[in-house]
Chains A and B, each alone.
Chain A
Amino acid sequence: MKFGGRALRLLILFSLIPCPLCAQVTAERLLHANEEPQNWLTYSGSYSSQRYSALQQISATNVKNLELKWVFQAQSLQKFEATPLVVDGIMYLTQSPNDVVALDAKSGRVFWIYHYVTSPAARPCCGIVNRGVAILGESLYMATVDAHLVAIDAKNGHVLWNVKLAEPAAGYAMTMAPLVVKDKVIVGVAGGEFGVRGFIEAFDARTGNQAWRFDTIPKPGEPGHETWRGRDWEHGSAAVWVTGSYDPDLNLTYWGTGNPGPDWNPEQRPGDNLYSDSAVALDPDTGKLKWYFQFTPGDPYDYDSVQIPVLANANWNGSPRKLMFWGNRNGFFYVLDRVTGKFLAGRPFVKVNWASGLDTNGRPVLTPQPPGVPTYPGIQGGTNWYSPSYSPRTGLFYLSTWEDYATIFSGVNTEYTEGQRYTGGANTSPIPGAENPLGTRQGPINVYTEALARGAVVALHPETGKPAWKFDMHDVNTSGILTTASDLLFVGGREGYFQSLDAKTGALLWKQNLGGEIIAGPMTYLVDGKQYLSIASGNGLFTFALRE
Chain B
Amino acid sequence: MKNKGMQISAFRLGAIAVMAIGLASASLTSVSADSTPTFGTKCTTEGASTGTSTNSLICQKGDSGALKWARVRISSNRQTPVPALHANAGTIEFHHWRAEDKAVFADIISKFEAANPGTHIVQVIESSNDYTNLAFSQIKGNPKSAIFVTSRGGQFTQFYNGGLLRDLSNERFVKSNVISSALTPGTVDGKVYGVPYQSLFNDPIYNADMFAKNGWSVPKNWTSLLAFCKTVKAAGIIPFAWPAATRGNAGQIMNSFLMNSAPDLATLTSRIAAIDTGKADLTQPWFVDIATKYQQMNAAGCFPSNVTGYNDTVAPADFASGKAAIYPTGTFGMSTVTNLNPAMKGKMKIMSLITVDTKPLYEGITNNTFILHVNAKSSSRDQNIARAFLSFLTTADIAQQYAVGTSQHVSIVNVDYSANIDLLNTSDIMGKKLLLAPRFLFNNVTTVRNPLEDALIAIGGGADITKTLTDTSKTIKQGLGA
Partners in one complex: no
